[in-house]
Structure 1
Amino acid sequence: MKYTPQDGFSYYFNLVGDVDCRSLFSSPSTLKFLKSIDEEKAAYRYASDKWSIKQVLGHITDHERIKMFRAFLLSRNESVELWGYDQEALVANSRFEELTWKQLVTDFENVRKASVSFVESLSQNQLKIKGKARQNEVTLEDFLKSIIGHEIHHVNSIKDKYFNH
C-alpha cells in the first residue's frame, strides 16, 4: 500500500523503515544535503503559493522543536495528547525569509543536537511508553521516528520539486 502525507503516522513510518530512532536522529544525511544548498537556491519557490526552501527548513526545525517537547512530556509519563499545530500560521509568522540560509541551517543543526542528546538519554522502557496522537496510540519511539519521517518527506520534496524543475 502506498501512503500519502495525509495518512499521517503510517506515511512517516513507511519513510523511515525499520531503523531505531537513535540511528535516525544521528544520521548526518539531511545536514549534509542542507549544507550543499546555496543562499540563492534557498530562496527559491517552485510556485508562487508554495514555501521557499528557507521556509521548508524553518518548518522542519519548528516541527522538531514542537514534537520533541511533546516527546519529552511523554517520556516523563505526563498524560498529554500529542496534539497537532497549524504549520501555515507558524511559517507565516516566522522570519525565515529574513534569515540567511546559514542561520537556518545552524538553527536546524542546534535543534538536532539537542534532540540527539534527549533521545540518547532515554531508556528502553521510556521508548515503550504509549501516548495518543490524533486517532493513533503510539509508543514514544514511534513518535520520535515520525519526526524523522516528516523530515525525510520534506527533504524528498525539496529534491523532487525544487531541484527538478
Structure 2
Amino acid sequence: MLQRPLVNEYPEYYKPYVTLVPDGDLLLLLKEHLVKTIELFESLSEGGGHFRYAENKWSIKEVLCHMADTERIMSYRLLRVGRGDQTSLAGFNENDYVQGSQIHKLPIKSILEDFIATRKATLTLIQNMPEEAWTNIGFANNTEVTARAIAYIIAGHALHHLNIISDRYLPLLK
C-alpha cells in the first residue's frame, strides 16, 4: 500500500490537500471519490452547473473543469517523476485554464465524462507504478516533490473542491 508522504516531500502550499486525505488505501479512496463525484454532478441540472455562490467565483461547471485539468496535469507530473525524469516541470495558472476552456459552452455531462476519463487514467497510472518509483524526486513549479506526494495531492485537491461544492454551492442551490 502506498505510504503517506512526509512533509518534506512536497511544497508547504500543498499541505492542506495532503492532510485532507484520510489514512488507508489511496486507490480505494480515489475510486470512492469518483463514485461520489459522479453522483453529485449527475444530480445537478444544466442550470445548476452555471451556479456561482458569489460574484467572481467559478461556476460549478468551472470547478469540475478545474478538477479535471488539475488532475490531468498532476498525473502527468506523477508519470514524469515516477519514471525518474529530472526535467523541471512548469507550473500553471488555474484561472487561465478555466477561462481558456470556455467550459460554459459544454453540457455538464460532457465535463463529467472528461473528469471520469481523467480519473480512470490516474487510477491505472497509480495502480501500475513500480513500488520503487514512489520515492522518486522530481521538480515541478520550481520545487521538489516526490511521486507519492503527487498522488496524495491529486486526491486531496479533488477532496478540497468537493468540500467547497458541498459547503458553499449546494446549500444555496436548494
TM-score normalized with structure 1 length: 0.87
Residue number among 113, 117, 120 corresponding to 2:124 in the alignment: 117
Distance 2:84 2:161 in 1: 30
1:14 corresponds to: 19
Secondary structure of the 1:138 match is strand
Structure 2 portions without partners, runs of 5+: 1-11
Rate the CA distance shift 1:63–1:142 in 2: closer, same or farther, 3 A.
same
Q: Give the letter for the 1:104 counterpart.
A: I
> For structure 1, which segment, 112-121 or 123-132, has the greater mean C-alpha deviation from structure 2 after superposition?
123-132
Distance 1:31 1:49 in 2: 26
Structure 1 portions without partners, runs of 5+: 1-6
Point out the structure with the larger helix share: 2
TM-score normalized with structure 2 length: 0.83
Deviations 1:12-57 (A, max 9, x none): 0111032343223222222222222221211101122111000010
Deviations 1:63-86 (A, max 9, x none): 011111111111110003354210
Secondary structure of the 1:156 match is helix
Q: Does the CA contact (< 8 Å) of 1:81 and 1:131 recur in 2?
A: yes
Distance 1:93 1:135 in 2: 24
- The alignment covers a number of residue pairs equal to 160
1:45-124 mapped onto 2 (5 Å cutoff): 45-124=52-131
Identity of aligned residues (%): 32
User: How large is the Cα RMSD of the aligned pairs?
Assistant: 1.9
Q: Give the letter for the 2:27 counterpart.
A: R
